[in-house]
Chains A and B, each alone.
Chain A
Amino acid sequence: MRQAFSQTLAELAQTDPRILLLTADLGYLALEPFADAHPQRFFNMGVAEQNMVGVATGLAEAGFIPFTYSIVTFSVLRPYEFIRNGPIGQHLPVRIVSVGGGVEYGHNGISHFGLEDIAVMRAQPGITLVCPCDADQARTAIRATWDMPHPIYLRLSKDDKTRVPGLDGRFEFDRAQKIHEGDDALMIALGTGAVEAARAAELLAARGIGCTVLAVSTLNPAPTGDLLAHLARFRFVMTVETHYTTGGLGSLVSEMVAENSIACRVIRCGIKESPGAMTGSQAWLHRVNGLDAESLAVTATAALSEKSAR
């Protein structure tokens, strides 16, 4: 999605001089499409994320639309208070762009994992979270949201190749996209969580279990109408996200179920505990956290048999 982001932004910048791209010294082999096309509007801010967000705040007040770029933790957690008091507090169109949600940085370890960014950003009223599921949807989402008047958090993946089957790049603001249909189980996936959720649905289909998968790409506002309509139809729902199970999509869906008295059990799939010092590839980390397709399918099957056992 990094390439998709950089290319799409470069194209948009051809027609709108307000677009600027700021990076905290990251984006090698990713940001070149923008930097080469618009060198006067590309700023390497150095390894100084707090200053990057502060500068973006001042630029936005002057009429620009600055995009700030770094890895999730450096992009969100380090300058969090700057984001809160600046773009959010003053309703300015700054775009906080982060790459590597979840455990995508694998062997780089927990310092590089984005495990709580959704929770802390979702806690801030006034900023929209945009979490594309794949590169095609990232292009559509950026084109649909780049000039909105309020701040946006854009959570990107490093992966420009993987496509979510059934999504076809579709994005509608505050709508969920149905990427698989079935009557036995419901999965709601956030952003790149949709990749394994879609694969799990295919595994389940091969085993005779029908699964509906909704891909969620915006929070604040969440696609409330779409989610409520589906939650009412199923006995249980699995939320799938590359994030801690606290504070993100799983928490959101639990709140919706509780507040609307829906009889639907919520099974939160995500990173349940701190990965700690032990690290590995993204695939391994997904597997040990039950976030790979096979684990998700097993979870769904177990939940179905629990239901029928009652």
Chain B
Amino acid sequence: MTPRELRKIILEQSKRAHVGHIGSALSVTDIIASLYGGGLNIPGVTDRERDRFILSKGHASLALYAALHLRGFLSSAQLNSFCGDATLLGVHPEHALPGVDFCSGSLGQGLSVAAGAALGAQLQNSPRRVFALLSDAECNEGSVWEAVMFSAHRRLSNLIAIIDLNGQQALGYTRDVLDLSDMAGRWTAFGWHAQEVDGHDTAALCEAYERCKTVPGKPHVIIARTVFGKGVSFMENLIKWHYWPMSDDEYTQALAEVEATPTTP
């Protein structure tokens, strides 16, 4: 799957359903592509030994649904039920949807759940890994740091947290709302192994996932520097695309821009 294919689906579905959170989904598109394009080991969505993934910033669900669809875990009919009635595809992921390992939507809960999943794998002597994708503003939540402390204390080296560091949150820029710089330094101070990568470089992201295997005894955080609304010029770094759906003209332009991007990355 390519990030371009994912972005097209994100635009199509958010336009069809007339819903927002587009900028957030575009921010994590390349991360999701790197995970579902090979970073995650998923022989099947019910395979007990599959890697687990939690989209802790659940409002970017459309990127996840698009990836599940491109992997063949979600039919076109299911995808087209996004934000309809009697659908499992709401704005935030529900575990009842095959392919979604855990519910999310309430920020600050995903890393604890991922830590439990990682501890469970260790207790079962399983090589499976657990990935959690958090937003940078999600790290405002104190519970994130409970999980950060616990994971380092338990040496959960099979746990990989990815921070979507786009510098934006619902009402402003993170540096103005609740400053979290230096993000990597905060995690290393808590005993994590940290890497900083371009969050739109899928090859670099995949390399980072592999590098985690060479660092034992610590949980891993990948600080993924991203651009909110990445790939659509008029959405990039603009708060309003947390919320707004697209007009017809905006959709046409956005789709044209995404289609004009090269296939890789």
Closest to A50 in B: B143
> In the complex, what distance in Å separates the CA atom of A63 from the CA atom of B48?
9
Chain A residues with Cβ below 8 Å from B130 are 58
Contact indicator B117/A51 (Cβ below 8 Å): no
Tell me which of A55, A82, A85 contacts B119 (CB under 8 A). Answer: A55
Chain A residues with Cβ below 8 Å from B146 are 46, 48, 50-51
A226 contacts B by Cβ under 8 Å: no
Contact indicator B116/A55 (Cβ below 8 Å): yes
> In the complex, what distance in Å separates the CA atom of A66 from the CA atom of B120?
10
Contact indicator B116/A59 (Cβ below 8 Å): yes
Query: A interface, how many residues as a size bin?
Result: 20 to 34
Contact indicator A61/B120 (Cβ below 8 Å): yes
Contact indicator A55/B121 (Cβ below 8 Å): no
A17 → chain B, closest Cβ, in Å?
9
A173 contacts B by Cβ under 8 Å: no
A26 → chain B, closest Cβ, in Å?
16
A280 → chain B, closest Cβ, in Å?
33
A104 → chain B, closest Cβ, in Å?
27
B114 contacts A by Cβ under 8 Å: yes
B123 contacts A by Cβ under 8 Å: yes
B98 → chain A, closest Cβ, in Å?
14
**B121-140 Cβ-contact flags toward A at 8 Å (1 or 0):** 10110000010000000000
Tell me which of A20, A56, A86 contacts B109 (CB under 8 A). Answer: A86
Tell me which of A48, A54, A82, A85 contacts B149 (CB under 8 A). Answer: A48
Tell me which of B108, B112, B149 contacts A58 (CB under 8 A). Answer: B112
Stretch at the interface among B99-107, B218-226, B232-240: B99-107
Tell me which of A46, A48, A50, A64 contacts B120 (CB under 8 A). Answer: A64
Chain B residues with Cβ below 8 Å from A89 are 95, 103
Contact indicator A81/B113 (Cβ below 8 Å): no
Given contact pairs A57-B102, A89-B103, A62 touches B109 in the complex (Cβ within 8 A)? no
> In the complex, what distance in Å separates the CA atom of A60 from the CA atom of B103?
14
Interface residues of chain B, those whose CB is within 8 Å of chain A, are 48, 52, 95, 101-103, 105-106, 108-109, 111-121, 123-124, 130, 142-143, 146-147, 149-150, 153
6 A-B pairs closest in CB distance: A54-B112, A58-B116, A62-B120, A55-B116, A58-B117, A51-B146
**19 sample A-B contacts, Cβ–Cβ < 8 Å, listed by A number:** A45-B150, A48-B146, A50-B143, A50-B146, A51-B150, A54-B111, A54-B116, A55-B115, A56-B116, A57-B102, A57-B112, A57-B113, A60-B116, A62-B121, A62-B124, A63-B48, A64-B120, A81-B109, A85-B106
| Further 8 A-B residue pairs, CB within 8 A, beyond A54-B147, A55-B115 | A50-B146, A51-B112, A54-B143, A57-B112, A58-B118, A59-B120, A59-B123, A86-B103
